[in-house]
Structure 1
Amino acid sequence: MAQRSELRQRKARLESAWSRWVPQMRDAGARPSGAGAPRPDVTESWLRSLGSVDPALDSAPVTDGGAVHRRWLGSPLRRPVDGLAEELRAIAEDAGFVTAVTDRTGTILWTCGGPTMRRRAERVNFAPGGRWDEGAMGTNALSLALRTGRPSSVFSAEHLVTALHGWVCYCAPVHGPDGRVLGVLDMSTTWDRANPLAMSTVRSLAAAIESRLRAEPPRREDTTPVRLTCLGTGRASRGGAPLPLRPRQLEILTLLALEREGFTPGRLREALYGERTVTASTFKAEISHLRRALDGGVATRRYALTAPVSCDAREVLRALERGDAETALGLYGGPLLPGSQAPGIEEWRTHLEVAVREAVLASRRPEHALRYGERAPYDAEVHEHALRLLDPGDTRRALAAGRLTTALRY
């Protein structure tokens, strides 16, 4: 109870100082001084922040979610944080904190914590995509740690933005092996849970991340992409050498190549197995085998490719997006993984078939209909389209007429 009373008194003193000084600083450029003034690093941050940040902000500005996910996949912090994720999550949940990892710009890339604290944090966009640099969100522990390169804590009304006066935050920068700041580890909670031990905890966890960064082997210099051929067949190779992937792993690779933003575990499992009952260990084993084949090129938690993969189906879709039916037809080797019955593959197979067929029917070049007609012998509409486009004296009319006659018999 004594600690709670001391925290309440401290909060009241800071709110009084904020109410006295921030309006004067904003309107007259006054500089706080005297016994009641905030500590110097907070004062200096208030002065810098007031030029770009409204203290009445209710939440942090947000970066596009897809871009943030891609940044996290490519971040050097991802692997060490994934390796410590269970420990970070347990500490956050047990202590009533929400923990966040940012990049060097102050954009949050990853968070964990109990559901109650995460909901509270999300109200102020203390979540992936939230921008917490000084220019976006004013004075906070995260922005101070980024600016100084040193651990920092900010309590209650030391925050410039009033929506954060109910919070206390503890941060430590994370340095790469070369000494550069790569981002910040932040542990935040409500003001009444402030604890001096939290700073030593966040320092230790940041040091553990840095240790893992130093222990990581150098990144692969070979950036040769995996080549995935999944139209009319199913095979993958790197630099001309085949990758030993089973059919299920080819299905996973195809789905990840087509949906670059990735899948939650539940959604990927459904795309592969539908309503079939499959054990979690079987599913994870397939993912693990694919990850090993790609030298770790599949992200954890949300499954997405982190290794370069070129895919013929993806290239067909890009060509169609450009209106380039010629290239699309040249690349279209047939149905997507023709032997697969995975629901996600069947859905993409239909999508591709319909998209290519519609491009053929929209084209004014008869050779497109003739080429597609080779793969669709029973598609009478395509053969009729070819006949409409061919000149009366074109000898290819006989080919199109023969195909049409065959199609109409069935």
Structure 2
Amino acid sequence: MSHSSDLRRRRATLESEWSRLVPQMRTAGSRPSGAAALRPDVTESWVRSLSSVDPNRDSAPVSDEEVHHRWSGSPLRRPVGDLADELRTIAEDAGFVTAVTDESGTILWTCGGRTMRRRAERVNFAPGGRWDEQAMGTNALSLALRTGRPSSVFSAEHLVTALHGWVCYCAPVHGPDGRVLGVLDMSTTWDRSNPLAMSTVRSLVATVEARLRTEPQLVPRDTPGPVRLTCLGAETAVRDGVPLLLRPRQLEILTLLALEPDGYAPERLREAVYGDRAVSASTFKAEISHLRRALDGGVSTRRYALTTPVSCDATDVLRALRDGDTDTALRLYRGPLLPRSQAPGIEEWRTHLEVAVREAVLASARPEHALRYGERAPYDVEVHEHALRLLDPRDTRRALAAGRLTSALRH
């Protein structure tokens, strides 16, 4: 029998067992008999989880704490950052998404190809998501944290049905004192299940643990806070209340890296910054080096990506639009992206943001959205017409929208 048909048969068996046993467990509150197709650690975790987790929930809850600060202070940040290029390559080549959590099961860092990362974000397998047993039920991360041993969970072994399309391979990361500091997980769709993935996870964890043992000074003491990048209608980067001394070109690079969490191959980033301009490799590398020093080493080598927390108003706008929160998107969208920049990559993102916000406004049934956006787009006839369609005939704001429309038509 082929590997793929064997996986399909295994998945069908587990789905059948889940459908039969989970309703019984919810009623009886104990592990039922006759669950031979399931591992004991899975059914025992189901029983524990059902007291706090609805199997029909669609995504992991979000931690109340600021995840950027937690990652900045994590002893895993620097060893994982040193391996970031290798982790990204493995994840992208094999079609996985990789995550690192703290000891509580909160995800602090992820990487992977764009398609898998977006799929993972739908279940909040992303920084800030809580994956401990009490929050998200039976999964490889929660089992590894509970047992202190590597764990894999396939398809309907997950308690939550939204995860039945996944397979996860996970191992805990132990500090030099034996304490579990977090876990490293590699996840993908069930049809890509491969026993070699667990060997890869074990090997990566062993490398991280070796770095922790040989470089104890890497445990941070006075860790600087995250960088706050403001690039919509402004051009500033601040850390702990102190502006970073970055030239316009370095701000462009920082903005591009913030907008592309998976990073850039060097040649692609160079094209995004300079386009067809004849710029020497040494000039480009000097800009990267200055930015890396300003971020205390927070840009990976070989493949350029951020390894230090950077919050950005442009990414906040995109996140709000993905969540359908037009109010927040409009509040944060204070102007075009790096308005003075002529870098091709910035111009492309600038257009993307402008179009995305405008389309959200035109799709909204709330007139205040069109009115607010119309302040920044005085010559956008369609937006003013949209405002007028939505406003009640007796609404005094119609005069404002009508005036703007008249001015736009005359322009």
Q: Aligned equivalents of 2:309 and 2:95: distance in 1?
A: 33
**Residue 207 in structure 1 maps to residue 206 in structure 2:** yes
Paired residues of 1:263 and 1:304 also in contact (CA < 8 A) = no
CA contact (8 A) 1:73 1:299 kept: no
Q: Matches of residues 156-235 of structure 1 in structure 2 within 5 Å?
A: 156-219=155-218
Identity %: 74
- Inter-CA distance 136–292: structure 2 relative to 1 (3 Å threshold): same
Deviation at 1:34, TM superposition (A): 2.7
Partner of 1:74: 73
Distance 2:214 2:68 in 1: 25
For 1:104, the equivalent position in structure 2 comes to 103
Structure 1 residue matching 2:92: 3-state secondary structure: helix
Q: TM-score, normalised by structure 1?
A: 0.59
Other-structure match for 1:44: 44
Name structure 2 gaps, 5 residues minimum: 225-242, 260-268, 311-338, 342-411
Number of the residue aligned with 1:31: 31
Residues 1:119 and 1:223: Cα distance change in structure 2 (over 3 Å): closer
Q: How many Å apart are 1:114 and its aligned residue?
A: 1.5
> In 2 relative to 1, CA 288–189 (structure 1 residues): closer, same or farther, beyond 3 Å?
same
Kept after mapping to 2: 8 A contact 1:157/1:164? yes
C-alpha distance 284-213 of structure 1, shift in aligned 2 (>3 A): farther
Q: Is the 8 A contact 2:73 2:220 kept in 1?
A: no
Is 1:98–1:189's contact at 8 Å kept on the other side of the alignment? yes
Quick one: higher RCO (CA 8 Å, sep 6+), 1 or 2? 2
Matching residue's letter, 2:286: A
Partner of residue 9, structure 1: 9
Equivalent residue number for residue 142 of structure 2 = 143
TM-aligned CA deviation for residue 289 of structure 1 = 5.0
2:88 counterpart of 1:89: yes
TM-aligned CA distance change 1:44 to 1:279, over 3 Å = farther
**Structure 2 CA distance, aligned partners of 1:106 and 1:39?**
22
Deviations 1:279-316 (A, max 9, x none): 7854653564576589x47565347689xxxxxxxxxx
SS in structure 2 of the partner of residue 109 of structure 1 = strand
Q: Note if contact 1:145-1:171 (Cα within 8 Å) is conserved in structure 2.
A: yes
Q: Is the 8 A contact 1:98 1:121 kept in 2?
A: yes
Count how many residue pairs are aligned between Structure 1 and Structure 2. Answer: 278
CA shift, 1:201, in A, is: 1.0
Show the counterpart of 1:228.
Answer: none
2:245 matched residue in structure 1: 250
Contact 1:264–1:303 (CA under 8 A) maintained in structure 2: no
Specify every segment of 5 or more residues in structure 1 that has no aligned partner in the other structure, as ranges.
226-247, 257-261, 307-341, 345-410
TM-score (norm 2): 0.59
Any conservation in 1 of the 2:74–2:219 contact (CA below 8 Å)? no
SS in 1 for 2:34: coil
Select the structure of larger CA radius of gyration. Answer: 1
Tell me, in whole angstroms, the C-alpha distance in 2 between the residues paired with 1:110 and 1:128. 6
Is contact 2:60–2:124 with CA below 8 Å preserved after alignment? yes
User: 2-side partners of 1:48 and 1:25: how far apart?
Assistant: 10
**Secondary structure at the counterpart of residue 218 of structure 1:** helix
